Every structure is written in structure tokens, then in C-alpha cells.
Structure 1
Amino acid sequence: MSRVLIIVEPANESPSPFAMSSTTVQGVSALKQAMLDRVLDKPLDQSVVKPAIAAPLTDLAWASSVEMVFAPELNQQGRFSNLAAQDYLICPLTLNLPDWIPFPAQAVFKACGDVERLRQTVAQWQFEPGVGNYWLPIVLTHKGPLYAEVIGIANDLNPQDALLAGRYVQPVHLTDSWRQPLYELGQRLLRSLTAPPAVYLIQFGLGTQGIYFDQLLPFPDAPAIASIDVQSPDLFACHWRCLTGQPVRDLLI
């Protein structure tokens, strides 16, 4: 039976090295729910998921065969020391990965982890580097990209409401004059990285000089939580469908 290995980062503020943040808990839960709720329009495309899964895929109850590991545990000797020979679909929700982890998006994760180098590359495309509190989700399917509504931080948009502090919200409405350059940036970035199907988040800022590029996240990170019960399918469900060769035809809010 094929298994799913979700790799997450421990909570920075936790006294325990192996505790999850509340946002990570929500993300992992949403990803598992996507596995339970999956409805296949057609059999999974075997050519899409290889080499992530060595054994043939069948109509499995995926959520019953899910393992979760904290990224630091991967450097410990033991059961994860020979992942290449094991039957796992590897699903990282962190950039903090050892170089030896074998999965199709390995090169993309490494490129995204080198934030300064990626910023330098994007600066050559006339997008200045800078810190941003907005995220453009891109659902890269096997047929092309779907652009979701922008995500922001609630108290940035409504600083008078203390109850919204730290919460992510979707949608953040931007004019076409902002959207089109963002879409072009996303398309160029993913092409330059030869990115495989997945959900990607472009973190960016807006200023008087234009769009500031912060970083590219090759998985649904904490801001993607804003899509739960707002977007259909949510970004975690989209990510799972992309990883397993299932179609994502539209994004509805």
C-alpha cells in the first residue's frame, strides 16, 4: 500500500521541539480531509505521480495511511533514512528539508529556499525585492495555472478590529493593474523553475513603486488556511489533487 508522508516544521514558539503551531495543525487537518473527500473523475494518472510513488495507485483510503514527521526528525537515524526505497508520496509543508529527500519537486524546494538568490533573479525582471504581507495562490495543474484570489492579513486591512489580529483573509480584491503583473510574474517564475503541479504562494508587497517580490512558497503554507470554507476547492484540496494527478477545473468563492 502506498503511504503519504507529510513533513512539517515545529512551532518556533513551542518549548517542545516536536509541537505544531495552530496554523500547521489546521493545514495538516485540511490536507487529510482532502484525502478523505477526494472524488475521482477518472483514474489517477500513473505517469504524473511517478517517481513519488513506486507501487501502482488504486482507490485507496489515503487518510488511513498518512504519516507525519517534523523536519528535524529526518536527520535522525532510523525509519526515514532510506525513503527512496520506501513506498511514500512525500508532501512537504516546509522548506527546511535535507538534500537527500527524494521527491519530484526537490529542485524547486531548494530554489525557493534560497530566498536571496530568487529575489535577485526576479529583480532582473523589474520586480524589486521587499517584505510583503500578501499572497497570490497559483494552482498549477497539469493543464496550466489557475490563479486564486489574493490572501492578506486581516488586521492590515482593518487595523481597528483587534479581534482580527494575525488572521489571514481571502479574498483581497486588487485591480487589474495589480493582477496582471502578478500573473505574469507567477507564470515566469514557475516556468523558470520547471515547477511540477502543486499549489504555490507568491508572497509580495504593494508600494508606490509597484510590486515587491518577497518569496515563493511551493506548498500551501499558513496563509492558505484563509481558503478553508471560502474557496472551493480550498488550497489544501487543490494541492492534493495536483500531487496525485486529479483535475482542478475551477476555483470558486
Structure 2
Amino acid sequence: MREKGKHRRIRKSGLARGFAAAGTGGAAIVIPLLASSGAQAAALPHVPVAAPALAASTGTVRAAVPVSAHQSGAAKATEATYTVKLGDSLTEIAGRHHVKGGWQRLYEENRSVIGGDPSLIHPGMKIKLDGAEGKAGGTGRAKTNERAARSSERAPSHTSNLDGWIREALDIMRREGIPGSYHGIHRNVMRESSGNPHAVNNWDSNARKGTPSKGLLQVIDPTFRAYHVPGTKFDPHDPVANITAAANYAAHRYGSIDNVNGPY
């Protein structure tokens, strides 16, 4: 017999089906829930759920984003520089490093370091080599050498006399961006040496200092070394090398060999 006052819970045969959402840190899983109609919900069964990949502490799922080299702190490419050595000139440096625009470009990029006179560069000075083709490595230099070879194959031949020397020098000067005209060079050559590439001045102040003027445009050795144009012979008695070095010096000092009308 049942004790007085105690009642038997009536069990219904029909089941009420519900669903409960279990939170998993931002991703929801729906779990079927069985409950007796009119009764309290049964305890949720324990369902192991894998945590979502790359979940942050806040429960938000984040996608993996590729990080660029700049964001990861990869080192930036360093800007190419050159340290000036004794006897260097902007023209020689620009030619050696294949700087597009020649010494003029080099000077413009380094005016704040060099100052107002492009001919006055000093050993130890740091010069930026912007526009240098060789910065990319051997491939850039190889292409430059290939272009130079093709150019030399197409270069016209010149007669071995004053007219031919001036015309050959003008071809090189145009390539290097050095100003000057046939008339300006010829006029100065005739005044300085009368067209003799072996002329040497052994009597003036330069000669007394031990550096006599030499060649068609009477260039002293220190000036020739400083303003020698790459691609020409390193000999002040060579007619083309003498003309181009003198014209290069005059461009730095006077703007052009055409502006020289006397001893310079």
C-alpha cells in the first residue's frame, strides 16, 4: 500500500522533443533534448566538442592571414652607397657602377653631401648610387656589358687625325652626358697644342710643381686621373682620352668646354 499523502508521479507515454544549443566558444552545436511534458528538462548529456581552430581567448574564430615580409620585420634592402677613394671623380664612379644619367645624376642625388662644386669630392665621402644598374647583381652588369658590346660594334670608325679624334671624343661625350661642341674643342686644342697629342709644357707653373701639362688640351696628370672617362685609354697622350678628360673637367668647372676661351 502506498503511504498516505504520497502520490505516484503519473508518467505520460508521449515524449516532448526539444533542442538545446551548446556553446563552444563561438560555434554552436545543436543537441536533441528529451524532456517529459510538463516536467523539468533532463540534464544535458555530456557531448565532447572539439575547440574551433585558431580561436582567440574571446571565443571569436579568426582566419589565418598571410603576413607580408614588411609586417614580419624582414630587413629592407639597403640603399647602395660608395665610399670615395683618392683619385676618384663623379664621372669615373658613375661609369664604373653604370649609373643611368652619368655623373650629373650622381651629383644631383648627392648635392647635399658634395656641396656646390661637383669636382670637389673627398676620400671617405659616402655617395648614394641611385640609378645604378649593377645593384641588382651580376645579371644587370652582364646586360650592361652586352649593350656596350653591341654599341661598340655599331660605332662608326674615325680617321686617325685631329678631325677623327674630336668626332670620336664627341661620340663618347654624348654617351656620358658631357657637354661640348666640335668648334669648342677644336678652338681650344689649336690654342693649347696646335693639334699635337704629344705636346708637353715644361716651362709653366705646373711644370715647376712637377706636373707638366700634356696632350691636345694640355691636361696635368692629377686632373686627368680625376676626370678620366671610363672606356678611354688611361693615357693623357691618347688624343681621345685627353679630349674627353679635359671636356669632363671643363664641364664640372665651367659648364662646358665651349665656355673656355683661354688658359683653364
Taking structure 1 as the reference length, what is the TM-score of the superposition?
0.28
Which structure is richer in relative contact order (CA contacts within 8 A, separation 6 or more)?
1
Q: Comparing both structures, which one devotes a greater share of its residues to strand?
A: 1
TM-score, length-scaled by structure 2: 0.27
